[in-house]
Amino acid sequence: MSADYAELSRRLADLTALEEVVGILSWDQEIVMPSGAAQARGRQLSTVQVVAHERLTDPRLAALLAGLQQDATLDATQTANVREARRDVQKATCVPSDLVRALGETAVRGHEVWVQARKNKNFSAFAPVLAELVDLAKQRAAAIAPDQPAYDVLLDDYEPGMTMARLDPVFARLKEVLLPLIARVRAAERGPDLAWLTQHVPAETQRQVGERIVRAMGYDFTRGRLDTSVHPFCGGAGPTDVRITTRYNEDAFLGSLTGMIHETGHALYEQGRDLSLADQPVSRPRSMGIHESQSLLWEKQVAHGEPFWRAHYPKLQESYGFLRNKPLAEFLLGVNDVNPNNFIRVAADELTYPLHVILRYEIERELLSGRLDVRDLPAAWNERMRGYLGITPPDDAVGVLQDVHWSGGAFGYFPCYTLGALYAAQFYQAAVMQHPEIPEKLALGEVEPLLGWLRTHVHQIGSRLETDALVTAATGRPLDPEPFLRYATAKFTRLYRL
């Protein structure tokens, strides 16, 4: 290894350690921090972030990277590491620090204003700060890549390489298939009574059941924890400290359980990273879309399917008495229940979720291009809601104000949710193609052939490959909506006898 590459590795390892520290401080803040410490925690976090930013923009780091980019002696992993670090450095360097500070401060204020505005169902109170956030996001995009559309630059933050030109046909195809499918589900005769979904289950019972399933999925508790939080997440500090959280709704046990499975999918990705490179960017999860593919693969492809529940349903029946006389087929109908009359994205089912995302995508790109004014957002939102789902939100709290993302200036994130669903179907179908025994193993409670495939094709790859190369190496094709559409059409046609 050259002296320059060794120095680069040391500097990147320090940056990774500082990111991990931010991970612990953030987890602590959500889970255990006393309320009176909020102000001090803000100072601690910003101090570490400023240190990290100074190190990331240190001219010596840029010089090392420029030199190493020309170095033909680097192997593929080293080359990828240099590429990933260069992307970080470039974005950090070209955004002026005044703009970084303005973004941070406006995001904090935006969040506070949004909380109140949502409480009061009053979008107009949120509109002025949202307009500022849109403007700052445009400025930031222009600083990074003045010759590209702003929204493409923002998409790249979460899904490197993704553009509107690539998303448009994919989302068009989703609409083409899903809209008529949803209409058929809506017209179908409803299945059996699903009142058992709201049976009361104490939180502690749910925790025990959930922990057993999380463990059976391969989550390693010696390198993680399971805690309770208002908003479930997967956080922590690198692959040896992957902490998941959940919330227990005592009148909706299924949501808590699938939520835990979802976070476990994220956690398996993190725990599966290449430990020998854990302190280098090249071992990082590829993108937000690929991350979401791992949570959704386990939550939807696996834990909404029959094989998984063949293994776990009998024990669930033991734990939850009201399921004892309920056949597996009926339980699966409940798990896969579709409700198009739902305004809320986070509560949406597998079929309507992509339309919630497409609605936001279309609005975001128009906001960033200037075609849509912030003041006209509620009207644009409600009009699309009627167009896609045939429903009109009764107020802005369950409409345009429902999501936290924009209040923090995060534009371009929403598409990752649906990219995740598409990648999940691609990965799962490819894995089953290569290991046809996966469903029968899942039915025996064995995750191994599936988890091993994900370890090899996704987790261990990290960021060695860019997204298209990773997905192509794993599935034979880059991003492709057809596997998801085939899966959804077949499943819901069968379940709802369409």
Order of strands across the sheet that contains 242-246: 224-228, 242-246, 234-236
The dihedral sign for the CA sequence 481, 83, 19, 402: negative
- Burial class of 419 by CB neighbour count within 10 A (0 to 12, 13 to 18, 19+): buried
- Burial class of 404 by CB neighbour count within 10 A (0 to 12, 13 to 18, 19+): middle
Given 1, 17, 66, 194, the residue binding a copy of itself (CB under 8 A)? 17
DSSP string, 57-95: T-HHHHHHHHHHHT-TT--HHHHHHHHHHHHHHHHHHHS
Site string for a copy of itself, 265-284 (x = CB under 8 A): -------------xx-----
- Inter-residue contact 174 to 418 (CB < 8 Å): yes
Cα–Cα dist 157/143, whole Å:
14
Q: Is 24 in the site for a copy of itself (CB under 8 A)?
A: yes
Interface with a copy of itself (CB under 8 A), residue total 37
Termini Cα distance of the chain: 61
Residue 268 or residue 359: which is nearer to a copy of itself going by CB?
A: 268
**Which one of the spans 35-43, 155-163, 247-255, 256-264 is the region binding a copy of itself (CB under 8 A)?**
35-43
Give me the residues paired with residue 235 across strands. 243
Binders of a copy of itself among 132-171, rule CB under 8 A?
Answer: none
Q: Which amino acid is at 248?
A: Y
Site string for a copy of itself, 284-323 (x = CB under 8 A): ----------------------------------------
Given 4, 7, 9, 25, the residue binding a copy of itself (CB under 8 A)? 25
Active site (annotated) includes residue 20: no
Residue 52 or residue 377: which is nearer to a copy of itself going by CB?
A: 52
Q: Is 37 in the site for a copy of itself (CB under 8 A)?
A: yes
Q: Which of the following is catalytic: 159, 263, 350, 364?
A: 263
Residue 184 or residue 225: which is nearer to a copy of itself going by CB?
A: 225
Token pair of 102, please?
Answer: 């303005």
Q: What is the β-pairing status of strands 224-228 and 242-246?
A: parallel
**Which one of the spans 14-22, 249-257, 339-347, 460-468 is the region binding a copy of itself (CB under 8 A)?**
14-22
Binders of a copy of itself among 40-59, rule CB under 8 A?
Answer: 40-41, 43-44, 47-48, 50-51
| Rounded least distance, CB 99 to a copy of itself, Å | 21
- Burial class of 35 by CB neighbour count within 10 A (0 to 12, 13 to 18, 19+): exposed
Q: Is 33 in the site for a copy of itself (CB under 8 A)?
A: yes
Burial 264-292 (b: 16+ CB within 10 A, else e): bbbbbbbbbbbeebbbbbbbbbbbbbbbb
Site string for a copy of itself, 210-249 (x = CB under 8 A): ----------xxxxxx-----------xx-xx-x------
Active-site positions read 263
Q: Which residues bind a copy of itself (CB under 8 A)?
A: 13-14, 17-18, 20-21, 24-25, 28, 32-37, 39-41, 43-44, 47-48, 50-51, 220-225, 237-238, 240-241, 243, 278-279
